[in-house]
Amino acid sequence: MLWEGDCLKRQRTEKLWREEKYRVMFHSQKHYNQLRQAMRDLLPHEQIKQLIEDALQQSPTDGSMRNACQHMWGYFRKVATFEEKQKYEKLLITGQIPALLCFLQQLSIQYNITYLRQSTILKIQEE
């Protein structure tokens, strides 16, 4: 029974990380790398949650925001139309990050990329 409880806690932790991964990356690549290692080390849920909260307290840099957007764009690289690629590049180059996040959210819905649709960085854009 203890094992089942541990398994459920781990599933909850993995779900949290899946949902917060790109938002953490958006705020801090350093914290993202620390969290990846913490997940590999199987740190307890409470510690992972605290590390995520710490990461989200960091002020995003231009580089961290662009990096997160580029990682998310990877899901569309091979399926996006020429026009979508042009729009993505324009938004990225001009640094229109809120518009770029909205665009990535639209693409995640259009192409039904569940992993991204569940990401909090794109859910925030719905509000």
pLDDT in tens, 26-81: 999 999 999 999 999 999 999 999 999 999 999 999 999 999 999 999 999 999 99
* Residue 126, pLDDT score: 43
Rounded mean pLDDT of 85-106? 97
Q: Are residues 77 and 42 in the same domain?
A: no
CB-CB contact of 16 with 48 (8 Å): yes
Domains contained in the chain, number: 2
Give, in order, the Cα–Cα distances in Å from 40 to each of 14, 33, 36, 81. Answer: 11, 11, 6, 36
Tell me what the pLDDT averaged over the chain comes to. 93
* Residue 6, pLDDT score: 77
Q: Domain span at residue 52?
A: 2-56
CB-CB contact of 105 with 125 (8 Å): yes
Q: Are residues 51 and 76 in the same domain?
A: no
